[in-house]
Amino acid sequence: MSRVAVTSRSFSRHPVLRAELLEKYPEVTFNDAGAKLSGAALIDFLRGHARAITALETLDDALFAALPELKVVSKYGVGIDMIDTAAMRRRGVRLGWTKGVNRRSVSELTIAFAIALLRHVPAARDEVLTGTWRQHVGRQLSDRAVGIVGCGHVGKDLARLLRAFGCRVLAHDIRDFPEFYAETGVEPVSLDVLLATADVVTLHLPLDDSTRGILNADRLDRMRPEAILVNTARGGLVDETEVKRRLKDGRLAAAAFDVFAVEPPEDRELLRLSNFLVSPHIGGSAEEAILAMGRAAIAGLDDHYDPDPNFS
């Protein structure tokens, strides 16, 4: 029976997932120390294991070269931008990964962010805590124009949920989904049109060379001053410094980020802005999503494939 290493701290702490994994694989090394593993420490943790369940750890060619015994990596979570899939294929390591298992968790958080910002909830709460009691006049999400950048599993799920609010939904993606657009009434548009039109712009993209910094200063300037920006996808998609400047001078009404280029984020000035809402990468942290991702990762130890070298 293969030895399995679990690098994920949240998986290692979860009693149901631990029990279900141990039932299939009795020899498991969990990350019970709760260490944030990287580099040499990650290699040492994985050494001697044929299979691994990983989460946000970076798996590069140097790691696979140092661990010839590692034959299967199963991903706990939905993104694989932290894994060098081309190196995996060269080294003969197979990938277990199920797409979109946490989509409802992320799309619900996105809606929560949008409503909170439209109704000025963060600013109102801060005022109450400092002794100020006054009404904030906000806007409803209902009937607003929402622009979804990236119409994959989460983007599609979000679009369906927004129908209940009567929203006009715009979508931009490098791929075309004509049947989905026809079914849901979503309007496929260019990124420029989406940014110039939407009351709420929300990102649902992987992070790779084509998407890194996709919302730079020039594209942020195309957003309307009363618009809000939500990022529950990946840090690195947005120029955080430019977002801060626009939140401070009124060129952007509000923003909410669950993810950052560096986590935890270091820009305390940004985090303290009254029109900025922050959470600590909790998009997929609903209990239902954790179970779904964990069970998909357990299944991936046996149900795996040669990764696409062009997808990393």
- Active site residue ranges: 234, 263, 281
Determine contact, residues 229/238, Cβ cutoff 8 Å: yes
SS3 170: strand
Comparing CA positions, the residue from 179, 186, 185, 242 lying closest to residue 214 is 242
Q: Are the C-beta atoms of residues 289 and 104 closer than 8 Å to each other?
A: yes
Q: Quote the tokens at residue 193.
A: 């049109």
CB atoms within 10 A of CB 241: 10
Interatomic CA distance for residues 84 and 88, integer angstroms: 6
Closest CA to 5 of 31, 39, 23: 31
Which residues are paired to 30 by β-bridges? Answer: 6
DSSP run (H or E) holding 201: strand 200-203
Q: Are 155 and 101 in contact (CB under 8 A)?
A: no
By CB atoms closer than 10 A (0-12, 13-18, 19+), residue 71 is middle
